[in-house]
A = this chain, B = another copy of it.
Amino acid sequence: MHIPATLVRGGTSKCWLFSQVHVPTDRSALEKLLVAAYGSTDPVELDGVGGATPTTSKAAVVGVSPAPGVDVDYLFAQIGIGTGTIEWTSNCGNCATGIALYAVAKGLVPISGDRTRVVMRNSNTGAVMEGVVDTTGGVVHHFGDQTVPGTRAGGVAVGLTFLSPAGSTTGSLLPTGRAAEELRLGTAEPHQVTMVDAGAPVVLVDARGAGRSGAESLEQVRADVPWLRAVRHAAAPLMGLLTPGQEPGDAVPKVGLVGPPVPYTTTLGEPVAAEDYDVSVRMLTMNAPHPAIGLTSAVAVAAAGLLKDTVVSRAAGGPTGEWLRLGTPAGVVAVRCSDPRDGVPDRVTVQRAARLLADARIYVPESGARKAA
């Protein structure tokens, strides 16, 4: 069989987008189809369209939303690499910027002048986002000059705002009720962590307390994957992310190190001074170092920065303001928190870029499972 799909780059992620009308609604049939389309039983995703890295092995199913005030719903799929399984529990902000551009380009949302607003709902988490797509001249653009840290390539400018992001998964900004606390793994010294739910549920480790800087190279972070994964697994039940008896997965909570600003060099070789940003962040994406930062994680870090005594505000030297500049391996990502209600931001915005890379018809083996057995 074959199925239409569009490959988009959103910020630092690549994601194939499928129209809801072309794929099964049954989750298990959909999973089987995507696994076969991506060739994801194979660690290099050779027999399919997967990119074989966590940031290039993503998919989303997009459709017009029945909800009032929402333009499109999308179901996000983090396609496992070599596992033949899919993580359905998380959101991807970078993909959302691509979905906003796609919604305009495919006519799911009418163009309104020079900037077109697309309200999107992530079906996995319930998160609602607003994408403002550059439609200068009242037309859709396929190319542009807006860049994001992590690539020199230009794309179409998309401002992405997370609406009322606090507690969208667990019901509260601080699921444990504490700004920071000790998390003990086995018999080792405990880590100072902040568990926060804004954009996504995230556990942030105080880098200095763990003998780290938070400004490590990707190679250094790779060596820390096992214990950061243990932190994720220890935090998951404390954040109320597991049903009784359920094993922790590798998609939620997101996990990373946070430290004070120090000079470092980006993966593209550009020097960054300590005064260029406010806090250092090194996140994982699944079980690999994130080359930049997931936008949902950026929202969580920014929301935690506004609060006293979190791992973030301590690293920044005190609670942060409307703008927070995150030092990521790819460069500095600026996040804006606005419309505060009781100290919680109602809008958290990042300026991004997206591009349609290809429109395709993907050939999917009828029975991926059988052929791959």
Contact = CB atoms under 8 A, between A and B. Distances in A.
Interface of A: 2, 5, 7, 9, 12, 14, 39, 41-42, 44, 46-49, 51-53, 55-56, 142-143, 145, 150-155, 291, 355-363, 365-366, 371-373
A360 B49 CA distance: 11
A361 B358 contact: yes
A12 B46 contact: yes
Task: State the copy count for this chain.
Answer: 2
Nearest to A41: B152
Contacts of A46: 9, 12, 14, 55-56, 150-151, 153
A371 B154 contact: yes
Contacts of A373: 152
Contact of A47 (B5, B48, B291, B355): B355
A52 to B, nearest CB: 7
Contacts of A151: 39, 42, 46-47
A14 B46 CA distance: 7
A47 B9 contact: yes
Nearest to A154: B371
Contacts of A360: 7, 358-361
Nearest to A353: B47
Contacts of A41: 152-153
Contacts of A44: 53, 55-56, 291
A218 to B, nearest CB: 11
A363 B371 contact: no
Contact of A371 (B143, B356, B359, B366): B143
A150 B150 CA distance: 32
A42 to B, nearest CB: 6
Contacts of A365: 143, 153-154
Contacts of A153: 39, 41-42, 46-48, 365, 371-372
A39 B9 CA distance: 11
A7 B52 CA distance: 16
B372 A363 contact: no
Contacts of A355: 47, 363
A357 B152 contact: no
Nearest to A267: B43
Given A14-B46, A49-B358, 10 more contacts: A44-B56, A47-B151, A47-B153, A51-B51, A51-B52, A355-B363, A356-B363, A358-B362, A358-B363, A360-B361
B155 A47 contact: yes
Contacts of A359: 2, 360-361, 363
Nearest to A373: B152
**Lowest 3 A-B CB distances belong to which pairs?**
A47-B153, A360-B360, A154-B371
Contacts of A155: 47
A373 to B, nearest CB: 7
Contacts of A357: 47-49, 362-363
A75 to B, nearest CB: 21
10 contacts: A2-B359, A42-B151, A42-B153, A52-B53, A52-B56, A153-B365, A355-B363, A358-B360, A358-B361, A359-B361
Contacts of A14: 46
Contacts of A361: 358-360
Contacts of A2: 142, 359
A96 to B, nearest CB: 17
Contacts of A42: 151-153
